[in-house]
Amino acid sequence: MRKLSLLFAGALMGASAMSLVYGAPGSTANAAGSETYKQLAIFGDIFERVRAQYVTPPDDKSLVENAINGMLTSLDPHSSYMNAEQAQDMRVQTKGEFGGLGIEVTMENDLVKVITPIDDTPAAKAGVLAGDYIAKIDGDEVRGLTLNDAVEKMRGPVNTPIKLTILRQGADKPIELTVVRDIIKVKAVKFRVENDIGYMKITSFTEKTYDDLENAIDSIKKQVPNDKLKGFVLDLRLNPGGLLDQAVSVSDAFLDRGEIVSTRGRDPKDVTRFDARPGDDIKGKPLIVLVNGGSASASEIVAGALQDLRRATVVGTQSFGKGSVQTIIPLGENGALRLTTALYYTPSGKSIQGKGITPDIKVEQPLPPDLQGRDLTRGESDLKGHIKGADEGSTGSGSAAYVPPDPKNDLQLIYAEELLRGQKTDPAFPPNPDKAVLNQ
C-alpha cells in the first residue's frame, strides 16, 4: 500500500504520512525573513509580558500551543497543531480503532459542530445528530476552547460517562445527553446482499478499508451466482474521508485504466498523479455510487474518479466539497503538524474544493417529521476561512447529510436498486467508459 498524506473532513483524526520539507535560498526570502523576525520579536515581547503581568500565572505550554493553533486555524479549517498525545491518538485512530464517543466534528461559531456521528458508536446510540452544536461538555462551556481542547475533553477512560449540552436546530431548549465512552472500533466496510444486488457501505478510509472492501466483494460473490448478480451499490454517504492511499486503492478496485486523482501543491511543478492498474474486481458489473452532504474528502476522490472515468453512476445529492490534502509532518517528541499542502483534482482536471461532486442523477432524501425544519446541510463552502475553490460558485457545496436508518425508507438506495434491476431507466445509467471525461 502507498502511504501518502491524509484527507480530513472536520476533525477526522488520521495517522502517519510523509514528512515534507520546504524552503529555497534567495535574497527575496532573506529580505522577507528580516521583517518576519521583527514580528516574531513582537510576539516574544507580548509572551513575556503575559507571563509576567497576567492576573494569574499562565501555563507557558498552553500559551505556546494556543498561539500555534491560532496561526494555523487562520489559514484554513483543516490545518492544526497536535501535541505529542494528540499525535499518538491520531496514529491510533487511522488504524480503525480508538477510544471516545464516535463523532466527527469541526469548530463553528465558537462551538463544536457535529459533522456526523459514526455508525454504531456511543454518540450515535445516544441520539447525537449531524448538525448538532455542542455547547457544554460536563457542564463546562465550549466557548473559548480550541477544537483540539474540546476533543480532548470528550476523550477519557472507557465506560466513563460524559454529559453533552447540545443546541439543535428546531429544538426549543438545549438538549442534555449522557454518553458513555467506549472503544470505537470502526468497521470500515459494511456489506449485505439485497437479493440480486451487492450493497457495500464505506464508513471511513482507515488502514483497513481496502482489505475490508476486498473481503466484502468476495463474500457477495460467494452468496450470489455471477449470472444472478445485477450489480453493486457503493454507499459513500456520511463518509467524512480519511487516508488518501486508501481512496486510491478503493477506486482502483473498480478500474483497470485511467488516472484516479492528482494532487497539486503551491509550486506548479508539484503535481502527483495516481493511476489505476489493470484489473476490475467486480469484472465490469454495473456500479452505482451514493453520495450526499456527508460525503467528504477521500469519499469524493472515489466518487469523482468513478464518475469521470464513466465506471459508475453517481446518485444522491451534492457532496461536501472538501478538495484539500492535509499532510502530517512529525515533530518528534513535540507532536505533529497537520498542514494543508495541496488540492486534489478529479481525472477531468476539476477541483471539487467548495463545490463538491454533482451526482449524475439527483435524488433527494426527505426528512422524517421529527427532523423537518432543521438544517442538516453540510458543506465545505460554509466553513469559515475555507480555501476558495477554483470552481466554487455562489451556490457553494454540500447538501443534507441524512440517511434513514431503515433501508425501506431510503429513497436514494431504492432508486439505485431499481436502476440496477431495470425497473427505472436514466440516460446516465449505465455509463459508457469510452466516453470518460479526462483532463487534456
Q: Which residues are catalytic?
A: 297, 308, 322
Contact between 164 and 179 (Cβ < 8 Å) = yes
Answer whether the bond into residue 77 is a cis peptide, omega within 30°: no
Under a CB-based contact definition with an 8 Å cutoff, are residues 147 and 107 in contact?
Answer: yes
Q: What is the DSSP letter of 243?
A: B
Closest CA to 335 of 154, 153, 88, 99: 88
Strand positions, DSSP E, 203-330: 231-235, 259-264, 271-275, 287-291, 313-316, 324-330
Rg of the chain, C-alpha, whole Å: 22
DSSP for 188-226, written as a single string: SEEEEEETTEEEEEE--B-TTHHHHHHHHHHHHHHHS-T
Phi, psi (5° rounding) for residue 6? Answer: -115, 150
Task: Give yes or no for a contact between 89 and 339, defined as CB atoms under 8 angstroms apart.
Answer: no
